[in-house]
C-alpha cells in the first residue's frame, strides 16, 4: 500500500497540520510533512475526525435499500417485539442485501466500526448471524462489524434461546446480549446468571438492553455491576439504552455513576424518541464510559434512522440540552472514543500509531460538523480511502 499524505487538514479542529499514513496507520501528525513520494490528498483546511463508531444498532432487522414499508407496530416494547417477530418472514428479514446496503450507507457517512445486536431465537436460529457475517464479508476492509448474540424475544421465556446464543458464541460472535431481565423475562437474577455465565465460559463481552425504568431498572444496574465485579469483567460490560439512570433522582444518579465507573461498566445510549437519556456529563465526570449508537434503522420497529453518527450525535446533544461547543463535542466523543472504549478497540484514535480510520468534512470545528452534518469528503479505513464525497469507492 502506498503512503498517503493528508495535507492541510485540521485534526480535531485544531491548527492546520499534515497527517502521514504508512502501512494503514498514522505515522505522524505535524505542521508540515514532506510528501516524499506519498499520494497526496489536499484537504484545504477541512476538519479531520477519527472515523465513527456505531456502538449499538440492529443491522439484521433493516429494510434499507428495499421498498418503503409503513410502520404498523404499537408503541409498547412488547408490541414492537411481537410485530417484528410476526412480520419478519413476510419481508424476508434478515436479508443480506439490506444489511449490505445499510453498511455501505454507514461507510459513506464515516462509520468505521459497528456493534450490531443480532436476533437469536428458536424460530430464526442463527440466520441473522449468518446474514450479517455475509454482508460484513462483502464490506471487508471498509468497515469492521462486531455482533452481539441478542435474545430479542426473551431468554427464559423462549426456551432454546440460550443454547442458540451459546452456539453463536462458539461460532465466533464475541459479545453476549441480554434484554430487560425483569421487564421482559420476569426473572432478573435468572436472566443475568445465564448471560454472565455465557460470558464467563466463552470469554465474551456483555452488552445488555435495559429499557426497564425507575427503581426496577436501577436495581438491575446493581445486579449487572455486582456480576461484572465478581467475574472480573471490568471494561467488558455495557448497559445499552440504560433508561433508568436518566430518570432516577440526582443522588441516585451520582451513586450509580460512581458504581458504574468503579466496576468498569459502560453505557450506550441511542437518544431515541422521548426516552430518558443518561446524564452524559455526570457519567463522564465520574469516570464511566458513554457510547452512542443508531439503534434500529428503517425497520419494522422504526421508520427512522439513516446510519449517520453525526446526526445521532446531534440527537444526543439536543436531548442533553447541549449548546456550547464544548458540550456538543462531548456528544460527538460518544460517537468516536466512547464507542471505541465500549468495543475495546485498542488502536483507535486521531494520534500517531493508531489505525488510520479517519473522516474529513468541510467544517471548522467538531461542533459545526455535528450541527451542519456536511457530506463526508473522505472516509479512510486502515489508511485506504473507502468513500469520497458521500459515495463508496
Which residues form the interface with Zn ion (CB under 5 A)? 295
Question: Torsions phi, psi of 109, nearest 5?
Answer: -95, 5
Region class of 154: left (phi > 0), else alpha (psi between -120 and 50), else beta: left
Min dist. Cβ of residue 257 to Zn ion (A) = 22
Identity of the residue, 46 or 115, whose beta carbon is nearer to Zn ion in the bound complex: 115
Identity of the residue, 47 or 64, whose beta carbon is nearer to Zn ion in the bound complex: 64
* Nearest residue to 188 (alpha-carbon basis) of 153, 218, 168: 218
Min dist. Cβ of residue 293 to Zn ion (A) = 8
Residue 206 CA to residue 195 CA, distance in Å, equals: 8
Mention every residue, 6+ apart, whose C-beta is less than 8 A from residue 175: 115, 146, 147, 148, 149, 204, 205, 206, 207
Identity of the residue, 176 or 359, whose beta carbon is nearer to Zn ion in the bound complex: 176
Identity of the residue, 225 or 238, whose beta carbon is nearer to Zn ion in the bound complex: 238
Min dist. Cβ of residue 56 to Zn ion (A) = 6
Answer whether 223's CB lies under 8 Å from 181's CB: yes
Min dist. Cβ of residue 356 to Zn ion (A) = 30
Identity of the residue, 32 or 75, whose beta carbon is nearer to Zn ion in the bound complex: 75
Residue 27 half-sphere exposure, CB side, CA atoms within 13 Å? 15
User: Residue 384 forms beta bridges with which residues?
Assistant: 381
Min dist. Cβ of residue 117 to Zn ion (A) = 5
Chain centroid to CA 65: 21
**Which residue spans within the chain are E strands per DSSP?**
4-11, 17-22, 25-30, 39-42, 47-50, 52-57, 111-119, 144-150, 175-179, 205-209, 237-240, 265-269, 290-292, 358-361, 376-381, 384-388, 391-392
Identity of the residue, 296 or 383, whose beta carbon is nearer to Zn ion in the bound complex: 296
User: Residue 11 forms beta bridges with which residues?
Assistant: 48
Identity of the residue, 104 or 295, whose beta carbon is nearer to Zn ion in the bound complex: 295
Identity of the residue, 121 or 295, whose beta carbon is nearer to Zn ion in the bound complex: 295
Min dist. Cβ of residue 349 to Zn ion (A) = 26
Collapse the DSSP code of 127 into the 3-class scheme (helix H, G, I; strand E, B; otherwise coil) and give the result.
Answer: helix
Min dist. Cβ of residue 144 to Zn ion (A) = 19
Residue 37 CA to residue 229 CA, distance in Å, equals: 52
Min dist. Cβ of residue 137 to Zn ion (A) = 23
Identity of the residue, 19 or 153, whose beta carbon is nearer to Zn ion in the bound complex: 153
Q: Which residue is nearest to Zn ion (CB)?
A: 295
Min dist. Cβ of residue 152 to Zn ion (A) = 9
* Nearest residue to 87 (alpha-carbon basis) of 112, 69, 66: 69
Collapse the DSSP code of 45 into the 3-class scheme (helix H, G, I; strand E, B; otherwise coil) and give the result.
Answer: coil
Amino acid at each position: 500500500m502506498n503512503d498517503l499524505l493528508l495535507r492541510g487538514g485540521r485534526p480535531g479542529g485544531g491548527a492546520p497540520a499534515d497527517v502521514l499514513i504508512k502501512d494503514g496507520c498514522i505515522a505522524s501528525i505535524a505542521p508540515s510533512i514532506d510528501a516524499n513520494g506519498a499520494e497526496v490528498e489536499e484537504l484545504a483546511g477541512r476538519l479531520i475526525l477519527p472515523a465513527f463508531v456505531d456502538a449499538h444498532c440492529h443491522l439484521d432487522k433493516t429494510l434499507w435499500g428495499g421498498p418503503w414499508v409503513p410502520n404498523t407496530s404499537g408503541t409498547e416494547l412488547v408490541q414492537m417485539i411481537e410485530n417484528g417477530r410476526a412480520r419478519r418472514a413476510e419481508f424476508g428479514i434478515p436479508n443480506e442485501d439490506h444489511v449490505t446496503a445499510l453498511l455501505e450507507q454507514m461507510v459513506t457517512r464515516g462509520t468505521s466500526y459497528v456493534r450490531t445486536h443480532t436476533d437469536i431465537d428458536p424460530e430464526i436460529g442463527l440466520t441473522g448471524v449468518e446474514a450479517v457475517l455475509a454482508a460484513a464479508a462483502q464490506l471487508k476492509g471498509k468497515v469492521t462489524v462486531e455482533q452481539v448474540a441478542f435474545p430479542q424475544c426473551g431468554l427464559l421465556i423462549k426456551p432454546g434461546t440460550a443454547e442458540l446464543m451459546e452456539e453463536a458464541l462458539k461460532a465466533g460472535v464475541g459479545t453476549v446480549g441480554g434484554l430487560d431481565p425483569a421487564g421482559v423475562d420476569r426473572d432478573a437474577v435468572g436472566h443475568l446468571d445465564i448471560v454472565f455465565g455465557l460470558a464467563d465460559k466463552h470469554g465474551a463481552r456483555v452488552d445488555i438492553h435495559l429499557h426497564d425504568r425507575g427503581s426496577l431498572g436501577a436495581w438491575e444496574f446493581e445486579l449487572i455491576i455486582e456480576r461484572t465485579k465478581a467475574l472480573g469483567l471490568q471494561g467488558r460490560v455495557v448497559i445499552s439504552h440504560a433508561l433508568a439512570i436518566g430518570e432516577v433522582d440526582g443522588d441516585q444518579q451520582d451513586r450509580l455513576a460512581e458504581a458504574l465507573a468503579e466496576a468498569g461498566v459502560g453505557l450506550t445510549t441511542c437518544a431515541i424518541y422521548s426516552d430518558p437519556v443518561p446524564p452524559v456529563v455526570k457519567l463522564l465526570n465520574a469516570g464511566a464510559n458513554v457510547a452512542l449508537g443508531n439503534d434500529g434503522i428503517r425497520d419494522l420497529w422504526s421508520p427512522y434512522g439513516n446510519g449517520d453518527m453525526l446526526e445521532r450525535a446531534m440527537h444526543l446533544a439536543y436531548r442533553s440540552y447541549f449548546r456550547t461547543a464544548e458540550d456538543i463535542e462531548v456528544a460527538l466523543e460518544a460517537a468516536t472514543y466512547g464507542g471505541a472504549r465500549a468495543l475495546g478497540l485498542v488502536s483507535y484514535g486521531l494520534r500517531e500509531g493508531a489505525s488510520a480510520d479517519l473522516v474529513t468534512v468541510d467544517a471548522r470545528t467538531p461542533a459545526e460538523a455535528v450541527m451542519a452534518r456536511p457530506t463526508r469528503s473522505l472516509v479512510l479505513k486502515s489508511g485506504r480511502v473507502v468513500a469520497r464525497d458521500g459515495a463508496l469507492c
